[in-house]
Amino acid sequence: MLLEARAQARAIPAFTSYTLESTRAVVEAAACLRSPVIVQAGSGSFRGSSREMLAAAVLAAARAADAAVGVHLDHATQLPEVRACIELGYSSVMIDGSRLDFESNVALSSRVVAESHAAGVWVEAELGAIAGDEDVSASTGRGELTAPWRAEEFVERTGVDALAVAIGTVHGIPDRPVVLDLGLLEQIRALVPVPLVIHGASGVDTEQLLAAVALGVAKVNYNAELRRAYIGALRTALIQDSDDVVAVQLAAVAAMAAVARDKLLLLGGGHVDVSSNHHRDQKGPS
């Protein structure tokens, strides 16, 4: 999915899911546009239910979808969680060793790549420091940017399939404009052969985001905007339909689906006719 997207100068949006409602919203938006999408049921998502319960819901939705749906583990820091999600049927995993020193990040990521590839699962890793908390919107400064030469060495030594880079984005919705270092991104792209990933796309100017996609970003992560749509819809629906649980749920689904459709269209979705699902059934890659 990512290689095809990069070749066509577009990107696949990846949405973090915490609930059945957010999962349904993203999958229905993708099916409506017949556009590929990634649902991230990641480490932070499991706190509200459980890994097994949320994964089961997301995987079931992916299998039933009339669109290509990848199921991704986001921001894992420990091998046991990666192994558990591979066993459950995830099509891709992210190992986040960005808070480790370079050599430790290389060692951890290499081990995850070896185990994941043996199971037919592709691996995203992160180099640099993307500031903020992916599960909570809060103001923060940007972290350490990714050095191009380090990125080249990291990909070569680990064999990762995609690399999340720090070029100025932050997790959450910042209280000041985000300025992407597109010159740095261009340098990284010249040295790194695998698709690049942007985390913290909420709050990034549309023109800058599309410029980043043109420079090789093939996966764009969204969390805060979908989460805010969910909470906002719940607040409104609870006032109007406080006793109707289904009405409240459907209002939340509709609000999140609208956000997901906007992002799919923005990044080049809605133009690809996909006839098969991209979940992983028999240890095959998405």
Smallest CA-to-CA distance from 143 within 94, 103, 200 is with 200
DSSP-based three-state secondary structure for 201? coil
Catalytic annotation present for 74: yes
Burial class (CB in 10 A: 0-12, 13-18, 19+), 154: buried
Identify the H or E element spanning 74.
Answer: strand 69-76
Tally of CB atoms within 10 A around 193 = 10
Beta strand 122-127 with 12-16: parallel, antiparallel or unpaired? unpaired
**Which residue type is seen at 64?**
A
Is residue 72 within 8 A of residue 50, CB to CB? The reply is no
**Which residue type is seen at 154?**
F
Instruction: Name the active-site residue from 66, 74, 135, 181.
Output: 74
Tally of CB atoms within 10 A around 190 = 11
Dihedral angle computed from the Cα positions of residues 241, 245, 246 and 248, in that order, rounded to the nearest 10 degrees: 50
Kindly calculate the radius of gyration of the chain based on its CA atoms and give it in whole angstroms: 18
The residues carrying an active-site annotation are 74
